[in-house]
Structure 1
Amino acid sequence: MSFLYNIGINFTNYGLKCVAHFNQKIKLGVYGRAKTFYLLENSITKNDKTLWFHCASLGEYEQGLPVFKALRKHYVNHKIVLSFFSPSGFEIRKNSPIADLVVYLPIDTPKNAKRFLDIVNPVLTIFVKYDIWPNFLNTLKKRQLKAILISASFRRNQSYFKFYGKNLRKALFAFQHIFTQNEISKTLLNSINYKNVTVSGDTRFDRVLDQLKQDNTLDFVEEFKANKVCVVAGSTWPEGEAFFIDFINSNISNELKFIIAPHNIKSNQINSLKEKLHTKTVLFSEKENENLREAQIFIIDTVGILSKIYSYASIAYVGGALGNTGLHNTLEPAVFGVPIIIGNHHHKFPEAKAMIDKGGMFSVSNHKDFTLILNKLAKESDFRVKSGSKNREYIEENKGAVIQILNYLRI
């Protein structure tokens, strides 16, 4: 199976290089990976002690960040290498202060794994959630290098638990310990005779609680909101934006303001969204020349500030679940005690089900349901506040994963 895997991974590498000529995101990854060994060899010496953190993309980075910060503080004399597989993680966090070097993970071939670990030789490796690469992990195990997996989440239909998943199962045993988000994941690992498991929960809860300790002040949002009821639509896609366009154009009210932060901030799509809204609309990129207090719609055509913007929300909508792109981060608004509206394709997101069950989140599948719940939340302040408080309670009830991980590491 490892022979077939290595053939497949080489074909994948060749395919990515071909597709890179036509896809900008894949091109970034291909070109970025080509620089990895040069960067490593010019940044790390044989005398350096190192830690290696690996994340598939941006979401996993945010998930691991509370642990990374604690380790950065503890291992002050170590160099930290942070690797990403996806450009959407690397390009946004390539200057992360928790790492001395941020790189793309090379393609998972035996040669690349050996070369990477010859240079880095980490005293501790942490993978977040998934992105299990057999050659890297098996090489770590052969060299008896300590590795753990945190915030892991497994499903019964994954390859690890199928008759053909031997190679991936073997890779899991490279981890000295796996911290899972839930009991189901622990049970599945036990079923393949992996026993070094702790159900610690999801580090994302600790991550979002850290946000409350930050300065979330954004003067331009305060000016725009002007003490009105404010709906923040985060990480939106066209299907969700269509609901907002119809709602706003049909329910124009001076008492209700909207901040829309699209997932895709390409200028042509931003301009198209703005043109469809029949009321005073301002773009973040043009805010210096506008009177924000007079605007009803504020479109955020930049990245990196959404978590702070949620602190100003009276109501939040989180995109991704009306289509097939996957629900975006609902914990970020939840920690601020905000009621949340999402689409109906949320079945792979246990936190969504939990908040729906508690009464702080509302799932909609059509424009009618969207309009009904948004109107109810906007007009009934008691209902709005009570619903939002249930989300904050949910976050508080699920904190503590980071402490368990750090205790295991004796930090």
Structure 2
Amino acid sequence: MSFTYNTGITLAQFGLQCIAPFNDKIKKGVEGRRETFSILEKHISPKDKTLWFHCASLGEYEQGLPVFKVLRDHYKDHKIVLSFFSPSGYEIRKNSPIADVVIYLPLDSKHNAKRFIDFVKPELTVFVKYDIWPNLLSELKKKQLRAILISAAFRPNQSYFKFYGKHLRQALFAFEHIFTQNEASKKLLESINYNKVTISGDTRFDRVSSQLDIDNTLEFIEDFKQDKLCVVAGSTWPEGEALLINYINNHASQDVKFIIAPHNIKPNQIKNIQEKLEVESILFSEKEQRDLKTAQVFIVNTIGILTKIYNYADIAYVGGALGNTGLHNTLEPAVFSVPIIIGNIYDKFPEAKALIDNNGMFSIANQTEFDTILTELIKDKAKRELTGNNNATYIKNHKGAVNKIINYLGL
């Protein structure tokens, strides 16, 4: 592995330790990684047979979950190690029933990589989407341990496909097989002579489709919604919240209810939303003490229920594509036959472009565009139903990635 890469890892470790006292998220990651090997020593013995699943964060976990579930059911006598790089994944899924041990991935130094692989010795490793760590993968290959990459999505500007990316390219060859989301990613891999590729599609389509098979009932949402039209704004950021608040204050009819589920649920952020609203609002945390029927806005100051809430949406707004944050999961509302509004920065999200091209999603760049399309969807029931059905059909037509992966593994 290149001297430059390993030097960079060393500098990154030092830098994170320096920044940690001033950033809660980085601090959690630094402190969590200190515990990684002691957690492994406590829960994994040399005699254990193991599988290793790695996800960068929460989104990749949700993406890989349909495959993880099948492997969990098949390898009943194996212990499963689930690793995250980001605190936003680890903190929410550290008690995941899919795994026996959940840890922070140690930083990818040569020493850490050798120690980790020597300890875990996974019979099968599954990486999700793009979180590629050369030293860890090099150790897997050296010990001839199986590894696959699923739901991979590559872009031409990534280092793997540049003249200076030789050492990173080598990491990809540690995977015995790569399952890509699309043809473009397959061609990029073939351009560097990696040919063990299958276009499986995105496992997220299987993941969100499974939501239809469970009970999505939330009685408190039914009490809030009554028989009125409901707009659900999921994973919102301040720039999107500003559009919503302005619309609610100036254009919303009493016959329309709004549910806002902010990405940031810190008390000061929630308070800021409530103070700017000129209509009655209620928090999730207040639902037992307040009359849900009289409020026009329900603010979700908790995590873990947004997917079920989308079941009650007549129209959805998905946050994250108006500022510097990436677009959040648009497939979750789409599976419930809901028309969707998003911001205009979605170039790195092929499913968003596809849903727009399929006439189920609408992109807006400012308040005027937001007001126009939301009003149109509220007033035109036929358009709501048509565009929502377009989304559900698109999801249905793109399922099947999990079966392709499992068939390859011979399970």
- TM-score, structure 1 length as denominator? 0.99
The alignment partner of 2:25 has SS state of helix
Q: Give me the whole-angstrom Cα distance separating, in 1, the residues matched to 2:167 and 2:82.
A: 25
Match of 1:314 in 2: 314
Match of 1:198 in 2: 198
Structure 1 runs, 4 residues or longer, greater than 4 Å off: none
Match of 2:330 in 1: 330
- TM-score, structure 2 length as denominator? 0.99
1:188 aligns with 2:193: no
Q: Give me the whole-angstrom Cα distance separating, in 1, the residues matched to 2:361 and 2:313.
A: 14
Which residues of 2 match residues 154-169 of structure 1 at below 5 A?
Answer: 154-169=154-169
The alignment partner of 2:99 has SS state of coil
The Cα of 1:253 is off from its aligned counterpart by 1.8
Match of 1:278 in 2: 278
Letter in 2 for 1:384: R
1:149 aligns with 2:146: no
The alignment partner of 2:257 has SS state of strand
Q: Give me the whole-angstrom Cα distance separating, in 1, the residues matched to 2:296 and 2:113.
A: 53
The Cα of 1:119 is off from its aligned counterpart by 1.1
Letter in 1 for 2:28: L
Q: Give me the whole-angstrom Cα distance separating, in 2, the residues matched to 1:299 and 1:61.
A: 26
The Cα of 1:173 is off from its aligned counterpart by 0.2
Match of 2:341 in 1: 341
Letter in 2 for 1:70: V
Match of 1:399 in 2: 399
1:85 aligns with 2:85: yes
Q: Give me the whole-angstrom Cα distance separating, in 2, the residues matched to 1:99 and 1:383.
A: 43
Letter in 2 for 1:394: Y
Match of 1:107 in 2: 107
Which residues of 2 match residues 46-85 of structure 1 at below 5 A?
Answer: 46-85=46-85
Q: Give me the whole-angstrom Cα distance separating, in 2, the residues matched to 1:252 and 1:71.
A: 48
Match of 1:123 in 2: 123
Match of 1:16 in 2: 16
Q: Give me the whole-angstrom Cα distance separating, in 2, the residues matched to 1:346 and 1:175.
A: 29
Q: Give me the whole-angstrom Cα distance separating, in 1, the residues matched to 2:106 and 2:192.
A: 29
Match of 1:217 in 2: 217
1:163-206 deviation per Cα after TM superposition (whole angstroms, max 9, x unaligned)? 11011100000000000000000000000000000000000000
The alignment partner of 1:42 has SS state of helix
Match of 1:298 in 2: 298
The alignment partner of 1:288 has SS state of coil
1:242 aligns with 2:232: no
Q: Give me the whole-angstrom Cα distance separating, in 1, the residues matched to 2:362 and 2:253.
A: 23
Q: Give me the whole-angstrom Cα distance separating, in 2, the residues matched to 1:171 and 1:160.
A: 9
Q: Give me the whole-angstrom Cα distance separating, in 1, the residues matched to 2:400 and 2:113.
A: 33
Match of 1:264 in 2: 264
The Cα of 1:56 is off from its aligned counterpart by 0.3
Letter in 1 for 2:354: A
The Cα of 1:324 is off from its aligned counterpart by 1.4
The alignment partner of 1:126 has SS state of strand
Q: Give me the whole-angstrom Cα distance separating, in 1, the residues matched to 2:146 and 2:73.
A: 19
Alpha-carbon RMSD = 0.6
Letter in 2 for 1:269: Q
Q: Give me the whole-angstrom Cα distance separating, in 2, the residues matched to 1:271 and 1:44.
A: 44
The Cα of 1:287 is off from its aligned counterpart by 1.1
1:268-311 deviation per Cα after TM superposition (whole angstroms, max 9, x unaligned)? 11001001101110000111111101110000001110000000
1:178 aligns with 2:190: no
The Cα of 1:252 is off from its aligned counterpart by 3.7
The alignment partner of 1:259 has SS state of strand
1:198-229 deviation per Cα after TM superposition (whole angstroms, max 9, x unaligned)? 00000000000011111111010010000110
Name stretches of at least 5 consecutive residues in structure 2 with no aligned partner.
Answer: none
The alignment partner of 1:193 has SS state of coil
Q: Give me the whole-angstrom Cα distance separating, in 1, the residues matched to 2:406 and 2:167.
A: 29
Match of 1:38 in 2: 38
Match of 1:233 in 2: 233
Q: Give me the whole-angstrom Cα distance separating, in 2, the residues matched to 1:258 and 1:114.
A: 52
Q: Percent identity?
A: 68
> What is the count of residue pairs matched by the alignment?
411
1:357 aligns with 2:357: yes
The alignment partner of 2:391 has SS state of helix
The Cα of 1:361 is off from its aligned counterpart by 0.2
Q: Give me the whole-angstrom Cα distance separating, in 1, the residues matched to 2:245 and 2:99.
A: 41
